[in-house]
């Protein structure tokens, strides 16, 4: 169960091990040629056919005629030898500021099909050919799971669901759950126990919960003196939790321990799909929600947590990256009447679409089941429930996206 060859063998001073048979038989296509101090996979079938220095650039050609150029300083900076990268932490220890200008290296594609650079001061750097290929300048950055946007029709048979036992006890179950969570933004974990605290144990399969002013985890039930709408029995319109934070929680888990009350069906809607729908039917309203800053605020006796941001957040490429929609903690912000005219028109239409059965799904959350969703993409809500008809008790917590992504990458190393 240990896929990492470095744990099984000490690193040589050059960090090299050779598994390539030069007579043409690639005996272990999955084994790296040069230890690049990487946990992630980079082994592959390619060897270098040629390497040459061309001014400031090192030009290499693989055995399938694919070429790439690297700046010589990039190569020196990314040397993976034991002097340049810490053998245990795998972090960079070479400091370009402290070494002599490395000059133009002598380069060769060596007998293993790896790149060897010999620098002016005699330092030797070796590079695995498939590692170089992963990092050629035109390569994409690390792959992120691609979101699969959904409407209610696609979820007609229910959310992607994984059995609690599989998530808690198998890496494959955990991987399937997190992969679906990352791509669909909403999943169910089913068939779990109804002991308090299970929501945190599930979060601990990934890492640890993100704490907020509502604690490490929170109990969603009708309470006396509530400080949040979730702690009442009223209908909750679809919303995002904590848009009043600069960095709202990325994922939310809601675990049902008991649900005997009438009403209280859960509501979910893919906010990215709805934003796309709005952009199509009303580009002006979409643009308003993307650009007009909105104040969100939570206040109680202990806290006053505020943040200002548009309802729809886009990344540098213009792709929708987050939704901040929560009607009850939207602040009474000063608003120019012309801006108010535009805002309320766009806001109303977006809200209507969020409620549209084309987009929204509705289902009863059963005891022992947990819904997990991307809090910045999939809005959640619930119908009104009637506390006099029975007890309804959910426990919730939040988890950072960095931890979910990291767990997935670690699980996918094998
Ligand atoms: Zn080095």
pTM listed for this prediction: 0.84
CA–CA separation, 413 and 182 (whole Å): 17
Sign of the Cα pseudo-torsion (154, 159, 162, 167, in order): positive
- How far, in Å, is the centroid of ligand 1 from the Cα of 123? 6
- How far, in Å, is the centroid of ligand 1 from the Cα of 82? 7
- How far, in Å, is the centroid of ligand 1 from the Cα of 308? 47
- How far, in Å, is the centroid of ligand 1 from the Cα of 83? 5
- How far, in Å, is the centroid of ligand 1 from the Cα of 112? 18
- How far, in Å, is the centroid of ligand 1 from the Cα of 141? 24
Q: Are 379 and 354 in contact (CB under 8 A)?
A: yes
- How far, in Å, is the centroid of ligand 1 from the Cα of 2? 27
- How far, in Å, is the centroid of ligand 1 from the Cα of 143? 28
Per-residue pLDDT of the chain (414 residues; tens, 9 = 90+): 333 333 333 333 333 333 333 333 344 456 899 999 988 889 999 999 999 999 999 999 999 999 999 999 999 999 999 999 999 899 999 999 998 899 999 999 999 999 999 999 999 999 999 999 999 998 876 667 789 999 999 999 999 999 999 999 999 999 999 999 999 999 999 999 999 999 999 999 999 999 998 899 999 987 667 777 777 888 999 999 999 999 999 999 999 999 999 999 999 999 999 999 999 999 999 999 999 999 999 998 999 999 999 999 999 989 999 999 999 999 999 999 999 999 999 999 999 999 999 999 999 999 999 999 999 999 999 999 888 888 899 999 999 999 999 999 999 887
| pLDDT at res. 73 | 97
| pLDDT at res. 143 | 65
- How far, in Å, is the centroid of ligand 1 from the Cα of 358? 58
| pLDDT at res. 224 | 67
Sign of the Cα pseudo-torsion (372, 378, 379, 383, in order): negative
- How far, in Å, is the centroid of ligand 1 from the Cα of 265? 60
- How far, in Å, is the centroid of ligand 1 from the Cα of 101? 14
| pLDDT at res. 265 | 95
| pLDDT at res. 20 | 32
- How far, in Å, is the centroid of ligand 1 from the Cα of 142? 24
- How far, in Å, is the centroid of ligand 1 from the Cα of 89? 15
Based on C-alpha coordinates, what's the Rg of the chain? Answer: 27
- How far, in Å, is the centroid of ligand 1 from the Cα of 54? 21
- Name the burial class of residue 242, with classes exposed (0-12), middle (13-18) and buried (19+) by CB atoms within 10 angstroms of its CB: buried
- How far, in Å, is the centroid of ligand 1 from the Cα of 27? 28
| pLDDT at res. 29 | 53
């Amino acid at each position: 169960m240990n896929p990492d060859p470095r744990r099984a063998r000490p690193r040589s001073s050059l960090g090299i091990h050779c598994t390539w048979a030069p007579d043409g038989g690639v005996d272990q296509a999955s084994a790296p040629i040069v230890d690049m101090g990487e946990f992630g996979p980079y082994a592959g079938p390619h060897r270098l056919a040629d390497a040459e220095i061309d001014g400031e650039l090192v030009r290499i050609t693989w055995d399938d005629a694919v070429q790439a150029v690297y700046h010589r300083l990039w190569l020196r900076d990314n040397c993976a030898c034991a002097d340049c990268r810490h053998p245990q932490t795998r972090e960079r220890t070479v400091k370009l500021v402290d070494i002599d200008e490395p000059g133009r290296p002598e380069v060769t594609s060596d007998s293993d099909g790896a790149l060897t650079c010999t620098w002016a001061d005699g330092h030797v750097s070796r590079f695995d050919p498939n590692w170089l290929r992963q990092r050629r300048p035109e390569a994409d950055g690390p792959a992120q799971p691609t979101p699969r946007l959904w409407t209610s029709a696609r979820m007609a048979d229910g959310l992607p669901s994984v059995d609690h036992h599989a998530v808690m006890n198998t890496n494959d179950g955990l991987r399937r759950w997190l992969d679906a969570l990352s791509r669909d933004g909403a999943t169910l974990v089913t068939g779990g126990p109804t002991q308090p605290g299970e929501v945190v144990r599930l979060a601990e399969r990934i890492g640890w919960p993100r704490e907020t002013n509502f604690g490490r985890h929170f109990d969603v039930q009708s309470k006396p003196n509530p400080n949040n709408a979730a702690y009442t029995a009223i209908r909750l319109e679809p919303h995002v939790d904590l848009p009043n934070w600069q960095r709202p929680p990325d994922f939310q888990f809601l675990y049902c321990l008991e649900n005997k009350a009438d009403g209280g069906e859960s509501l979910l809607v893919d906010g990215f799909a709805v934003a796309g729908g709005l952009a199509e039917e009303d580009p002006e309203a979409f643009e308003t929600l993307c650009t007009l800053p909105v104040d969100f605020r939570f206040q109680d006796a202990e806290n006053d947590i505020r943040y200002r941001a548009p309802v729809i957040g886009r990344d540098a490429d213009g792709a929708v990256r987050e939704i901040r929609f929560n009607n009850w903690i939207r602040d009474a912000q000063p608003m120019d009447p012309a801006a108010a005219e535009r805002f309320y028109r766009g806001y109303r239409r977006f809200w209507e679409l969020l409620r549209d059965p084309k987009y929204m799904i509705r289902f009863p959350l059963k005891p022992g089941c947990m819904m997990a969703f991307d809090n910045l993409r999939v809005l959640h809500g619930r119908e009104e429930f009637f506390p006099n008809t029975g007890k309804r008790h959910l426990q919730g917590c939040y988890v950072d996206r960095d931890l979910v992504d990291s767990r997935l990458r670690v699980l996918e190393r094998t």
